[in-house]
Every structure is written in C-alpha cells, then in structure tokens.
Amino acid sequence: MKNKSIWVASAISIVVSSCATPTAKESVEPVIKEETQASEAIEFMGGSYTVDAEESVINWKGTEITTEYHVGTVNVHKGSVDVVDKTFSKGFIAIDMNSIVVTDEDMGDKSKQRLTRHLKSEDFFGVEQFPFSRMDIAGIKSKESVDYAYGKIFVREIAQPITFPIEISEEDGNMIIDASITFDRSKHNVKFRSGAFPDLFPDLGDKLINDDIELNVHIVATL
C-alpha cells in the first residue's frame, strides 16, 4: 500500500451484485433531516439515459491501519438513469469485478498482478462466483443545498443501504454524475484481515486492513 493520495474525480457503485437484478425488500429511505430544495437544479429531457461504460470511471482505495494503502480502478459494466419531470428519478450501475486492477505507482508489475489476483479471490470479492457488483439509486434528497443519493449497494450479492453526496451536471446534452462513496466491506462478507472477524483473524496488530473502501466515481449517461 502507498503513502500517497491519488484520486481522480470520478458516479455511482462500488458497487455491486450479480448481473441479475436483486430485489430490495426493505425501505431505502435515508436518514436526512431538515430537507431543503437543492439550489440551481438542472433540468434534463425526460426519458431513460444509458450509462456510457467507456466514458465512465471508478477509482477505488483501500487502507491499512497504518498509513499504507492501495489504489486502482474497476470498470463500469452497464447502467441507466431515469429522468421524470426534468429531474433525476432513479438509476443503477453494474460493475465488472473481473476488471479490477491495482494502479499503485511505486509497485512493480508482478506485485500489482499478484495483488489483483488476491482481490479477485475468495479472500476478497470472489469474482468467479460474483462477477458483478451493483448500486441501485432509489432517489435523491437535499439538505442545505447538498444533494444526497440513497439506495442500496450489492457486493457478493449482499445488499446494504447506502447514502452519499452526489453532484449532477450537464455537458453537451449528457448527464454527468460525480460522487465519493465509502462502504464497509465486512458487511458484504469480505473478511480478509478485517477487525470485524476476530475469531478468524486474531491479533492482527498493524496487519489489519480497514473495512471501509473508498470509491471515486464519474458517470456519463446519454439519452
């Protein structure tokens, strides 16, 4: 892991379940109080926007209890965004977990490949059994002129509610979505060197890997 920051501003999930759409049974309404109208809302043409997988970017970051960390990218598989009454209504994004790579600048190619294989293994995301992750966005709430998306994130086909700040803009008729998202891997049964499973990994000390995984996502969607 690295002692340096790399974030390229990047929407929406890491994401997230198998390509088959999971069914959410419980409410995903966020706990956001004192809602206010978002300022300077952008109006979009109504319809279903298709996520441009080639133009969309997802960057990830995982950290240890020390100052060490790893960074990388993972590709968007597909997605869509629905616009109703000229505003964002709902959307989803599916992530190709087989595309996950490590991009640490001061790590050799063989070390990057070894870590990438480990991330794809059962210790982490088990991509052979769970090739896709997913995020479903049920809607957007506003508080103090900040928009928050709420919905569910699916990793290893395990769903968890999620809420995060989101920015939506327009460029050349396309919808641009940017967000910084953090999710807890231990809640998706990603156990390797996690402090949430002391029976499996006792006395980790400075070998502990933090449960929070950070995502910087940039989504381009076209009508």
Question: pLDDT for 6-54, tens place per residue?
Answer: 333 333 333 333 344 444 344 444 544 444 334 357 899 999 999 999 9
CATH number of 47-222: 2.40.128.110
Which two tokens mark 128?
Answer: 């052979």
In this structure, which amino acid lies at residue 144?
E
- In this prediction the pTM is 0.79
202: confidence class by pLDDT, cuts 50, 70, 90 = confident
Neighbour-count burial of 152, counting CB atoms closer than 10 A to its CB (0-12 exposed, 13-18 middle, 19+ buried)? buried
Rounded Cα–Cα distance for residues 223 and 32 (Å): 30
Rounded Cα–Cα distance for residues 30 and 168 (Å): 19
Question: pLDDT for 156-200, tens place per residue?
Answer: 999 999 999 999 999 998 999 999 999 999 999 998 878 766 776
